[in-house]
């Protein structure tokens, strides 16, 4: 496909989308805009985009596809700006935000001008941010939710899918309301809970000084998502307020239920409670990419002697396997291994596992 593709917002998501379109449609021209000029400069230097836009208005009127990869509140403002411009009749506008109902309602101003807006949400991410972290494989095999309104011609939806085919994602069509409920349950709500657990640990640490040190193991891992951008999660939470309040009500009922079981010392009911949770969790797909980015960690049980970490990383470097993080665990309850090595992909983790196994006799494990 030929044409001019305008990407607004050149962070991890916008940059990765630009790379995917570039790879699939090399004859297309990719123009990028970001309020951070340094991100624009880096995107051009790295070949993520072909041209830098000086403003939204200077490029949008000539675009065939406009992708909004901005925070959800900023997307509302951009949509409002676009509605005032003489855009092409056949232009397609889509976003990549984590909430959809309010965004689609906001885009009604585009529908009045016969401009097609199709809400989108590629459900993949990374612990890294910025255009320098962008990569074409970010969305591969991930779910990409599209929320077109009923009046939109299916051929236009197919055209958008073709533009985005380079993501190699699995497209699902849902309503904006269904999208917000689904992502609320498996993404937005867990972030709120993770943040609340961290707050509780912080408050406890004032009296129990060992909390901070002991939390460096499993607790740090299960609350990792609380390290995401506070600004982004503020906006998402306010956008998806209705769903979150409903889920919080159900969560409070659930906590009341488990509180009653423990208070009554009902061992059989408590066993059943944990068993059902374990059964459902163990039956979740392992290789599917979900709403929250997976953590590709490898645990290595290494002996304590000088140079052992550089020995391990040396083997991985020899096999040209990149790592994203490495750390030593002091608290290792339910974890087999003192060294945690993190990777970008499951494939890298598997290669590393085989590499360490072939060079050493150190025991390794992958968290289930």
**Average pLDDT of the chain, as a whole number:** 90
Asked if residues 27 and 148 have their Cβ atoms less than 8 Å apart, the reply is: no
Look up tokens 């910025």; give the residue: 130
Higher pLDDT, 294 or 301: 301
Asked if residues 93 and 69 have their Cβ atoms less than 8 Å apart, the reply is: no
pLDDT > 70 in the chain, percent = 93
Mean pLDDT of the 232-246 span: 94
pLDDT at 359: 87
Question: Please, what are the domains in the chain?
Answer: 4-174 (3.40.50.720), 179-282 (1.10.3660.10), 296-365 (3.30.70.260)
pLDDT at 330: 55
CA–CA distance, 214 with 205 (Å, rounded to integer): 10
β strands within the chain, DSSP E: 4-8, 29-33, 51-52, 65-68, 92-95, 116-122, 143-147, 170-173, 296-301, 325-328, 339-343, 363-365
CA–CA distance, 272 with 121 (Å, rounded to integer): 37
Q: Which residues of 242-279 are buried (b: 16+ CB within 10 A; e: fewer)?
A: ebbeebeeeeeeeeeeeeebeeeeeeeeeeebeeeeee
pLDDT at 285: 74
Q: Which helix or strand (DSSP H or E) is residue 268 part of?
A: helix 267-282
Q: Quick one: pLDDT band at residue 293, thresholds 50, 70, 90?
A: low
DSSP 166-207: GG--EEEE--HHHHHHHHIIIIIHHHHHHHHHHHHHHHHHTT
CA–CA distance, 76 with 144 (Å, rounded to integer): 21
Mean pLDDT of the 115-123 span: 95
CA–CA distance, 8 with 45 (Å, rounded to integer): 17
Asked if residues 364 and 298 have their Cβ atoms less than 8 Å apart, the reply is: yes
Q: Which helix or strand (DSSP H or E) is residue 359 part of?
A: helix 346-359
pLDDT digits (tens, 9 = 90+) for 12-61: 999 999 999 999 999 999 999 999 999 999 999 999 999 999 999 999 99
CA–CA distance, 169 with 140 (Å, rounded to integer): 5
pLDDT digits (tens, 9 = 90+) for 316-341: 999 999 888 888 765 444 444 578 88
Direct distance between the N- and C-terminal alpha carbons of the chain, in angstroms, rounded to an integer: 42
Mean pLDDT of the 166-193 span: 94
CA–CA distance, 90 with 9 (Å, rounded to integer): 22
- Over its C-alpha atoms, the chain yields an Rg (Å, rounded) of 23
The lowest-confidence range among 121-135, 139-153, 215-229, 334-348 is 334-348
pLDDT > 90 in the chain, percent = 65
């Amino acid at each position: 496909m030929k044409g001019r593709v305008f990407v607004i917002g050149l962070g991890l998501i916008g940059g990765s989308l630009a790379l995917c379109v570039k790879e699939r449609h090399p004859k297309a021209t990719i123009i990028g805009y970001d309020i951070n000029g340094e991100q624009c400069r880096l995107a051009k230097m790295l070949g993520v985009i072909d041209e830098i836009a000086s403003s939204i208005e200077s490029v949008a009127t000539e675009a065939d596809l406009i992708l909004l990869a901005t925070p959800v509140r900023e997307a509302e403002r951009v949509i409002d700006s676009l509605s005032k411009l003489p855009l092409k009749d056949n232009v397609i506008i889509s976003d990549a935000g984590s909430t959809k109902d309010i965004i689609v309602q906001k885009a009604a101003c585009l529908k009045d001008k016969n401009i097609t807006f199709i809400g989108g949400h590629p459900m993949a991410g990374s612990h890294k941010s910025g255009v320098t972290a962008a990569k074409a494989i970010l969305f591969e095999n991930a779910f990409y939710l599209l929320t077109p309104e009923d009046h939109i011609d299916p051929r236009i939806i197919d055209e958008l899918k073709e533009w985005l085919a380079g993501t190699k994602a699995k497209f699902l069509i849902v309503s904006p309301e269904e999208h917000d409920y689904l992502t609320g349950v498996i993404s937005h709500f867990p972030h709120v809970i993770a943040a609340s657990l961290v707050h509780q640990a912080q408050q406890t640490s004032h009296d129990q000084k060992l909390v901070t040190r002991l939390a460096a193991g499993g607790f740090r891992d299960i609350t990792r998502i609380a390290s995401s951008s506070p600004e982004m999660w503020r906006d998402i939470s306010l956008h998806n307020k209705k769903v979150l309040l409903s889920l919080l009500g159900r969560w409070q009922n659930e906590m009341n239920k488990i509180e009653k079981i423990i208070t009554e010392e009902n061992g059989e009911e408590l066993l059943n409670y944990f068993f059902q949770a374990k059964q459902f969790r163990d039956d979740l797909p392992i290789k599917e990419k979900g709403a929250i980015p997976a953590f590709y960690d490898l645990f290595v049980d290494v002996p304590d002697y000088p140079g052992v970490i550089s020995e391990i990383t040396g083997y991985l470097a020899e096999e040209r396997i990149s790592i994203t993080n490495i750390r030593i665990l002091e608290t290792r309850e339910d974890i087999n291994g003192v060294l945690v090595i993190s990777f970008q992909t499951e494939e890298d983790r598997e290669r590393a596992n085989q590499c360490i196994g072939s060079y050493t006799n150190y025991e390794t494990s992958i968290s289930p």
